[in-house]
Homo-oligomer: A and B are copies of this chain.
Amino acid sequence: MTDAHEFAQANGERFRQQLFDLLRIPSVSTDPARKDDIRRAAEWLADDLRRIGFERVEIKPTAGHPVVYAEWLGAGDGAPTALVYGHYDVQPAEIEAGWTSDPFEPVERGGKIYARGAADDKGQVFAQVKAAESLLAAGGAPVNLKFLIEGEEEIGSPHLGAFVSANRDLLKADVCVISDTSILAIDQPSICYALRGLAYMEVEVFGPKQDLHSGGFGGIVHNPAQALAEMIAQLHHPDGSVAVPGFYDDVLPLSDEERAELAKSAAPEDYWREMTGVPAFWGEAAYALHERIGARPTLEINGLVSGFYGEGSKTVLPARALAKISCRLVANQQPRRIFEQVRGHIARITPPTVRSEVRLIAEAHPARTDLNNPAMRAAMAAYEKGWGKRPLFERGGGTLPVMADIQRELKMPVVLMGFGLRSDGAHGPNEHFHVEMFHKGINTAVYFFEELAK
């Protein structure tokens, strides 16, 4: 144990009380009426960062809610610099939604802190702040530290990309660490080193110029709902792979080593059976279930709509049919390239009897940090020290746009150093954060910065 760990231990009770104060601020970014609370949370964090010794602390405006930026460069030019990303905004929470206690009046029950934002992300980003405090209090951190804490993560970080682009020099660092995810189990740390990207599209098929009577015209018009279905049926091969030409061109193959690592953290089939309730699994047979989710791209139908779908019957021959289609992408697929490929394929398979359009609705790049990257090794060592157990490796099926954006815009590896658990109830009622995870998180973050400096 270093002095910083001793400081963290000695001040644990105070750290928790401080976290409670932060959790009391209802910084709900989706609610325009909470604008002042958002600002108050930013100021509260800025004040704490100043108090614990950060040299430069600023509340930086964006077109939406402000970003808290703080830096301590006392480790000097020769030392590496770590950029810590987190967010101080939270999801909405109404006690009527099933909360046992006021979501903005934190309470500790059974070793857990119950409050909105306890795990997502106030508790986790505050563990990073308290790790910094512990290092600074013990004589200074071994690495330069920059904090970037935004207030719009829960509304999709609409202004973060522009902020990052406009502040490349300010945010320059050797590694970015994000504590906003989960580990496998309270006694089994894990590192999620890859997340999928997204290309979200709308495919619309146009048939007759207006809805027609299916009696008066049925038989001579290619029904657009039928045509759309026939086109969707041509988007996958029978083996479950995506039939769009070129779709897999940029996919980094899974190495045998990576597959072996992933197998260690993989949930058993029963888990997936229980979670989905499907009669049989589907997908690329050459890949295990966790590989299909974490390491393979998909093309998913998120929605369909056409004609009449209410109770009863209406004999309409619809004029249009629409599908929402999204591809989850893995490194190194490019959302725009995938969009162009899908658009090209749809154009080729559109029969001459209808017209089609494909529109891009949203995009996010996939992200992946190499397991052999020094920052990744530092994170592994830190978890091993913090938990007394080697972390396992995971790839996530979801998308965290900020990970890819920082990786791409700032050209640095991003390490997801989660201190949460999947069972924390983020976004739901009775969100909570384990007290043990908070304190282990602080220790692990201290170890991480110490490892980085080695």
Which A residues are closer than 8 A to B by beta carbons?
A: 196, 198, 200, 207-210, 212-223, 225-226, 228-230, 232-236, 272, 275-284, 289, 292-293, 296, 298, 300-309, 312-318, 321-324, 326, 328, 351-355, 361-362, 396-399
Contact = CB atoms under 8 A, between A and B. Distances in A.
A278 B207 contact: yes
Chain B CB count within 10 A is highest, among A309, A321, A361, for A309
A280 B220 CA distance: 9
A215 B316 contact: no
Chain B CB count within 10 A is highest, among A223, A278, A326, A396, for A278
22 contacts: A198-B315, A208-B277, A208-B278, A209-B277, A215-B399, A216-B293, A217-B397, A219-B328, A219-B397, A220-B281, A220-B292, A220-B293, A221-B276, A225-B302, A229-B230, A302-B313, A302-B315, A302-B316, A302-B317, A304-B309, A305-B309, A312-B362
A307 B307 contact: no
A315 B304 contact: no
A324 B308 contact: yes
A301 B196 contact: no
What is the copy number of this chain in the assembly?
A: 2
B272 A220 contact: yes
B352 A324 contact: no
A276 B212 contact: yes
A309 B292 contact: no
A272 to B, nearest CB: 6
A225 B313 contact: no
Contacts of A305: 304-306, 309
Contacts of A399: 215, 315
Q: Which 3 A-B pairs have the closest CB atoms?
A: A209-B277, A215-B398, A219-B292
A352 B279 contact: yes
Contacts of A220: 272, 276, 281-283, 289, 292-293
A361 to B, nearest CB: 5
Given A225-B303, A230-B233, A397-B216, A279 B313 contact: no
Contact of A219 (B235, B293, B354): B293
A223 B300 contact: yes
Contacts of A216: 293, 397-398
A242 to B, nearest CB: 10
B306 A304 contact: yes
Contacts of A272: 217, 220
A396 B218 CA distance: 11
Contact of A232 (B198, B226, B279): B226
A425 to B, nearest CB: 15
B352 A300 contact: no
Contact of A302 (B235, B304, B307, B362): B307
A118 to B, nearest CB: 21
A272 B200 CA distance: 37
Contact of A303 (B218, B219, B234, B318): B318
A302 B276 contact: no
Nearest to A223: B301
A283 B219 CA distance: 5
Contacts of A351: 282
Nearest to A274: B209
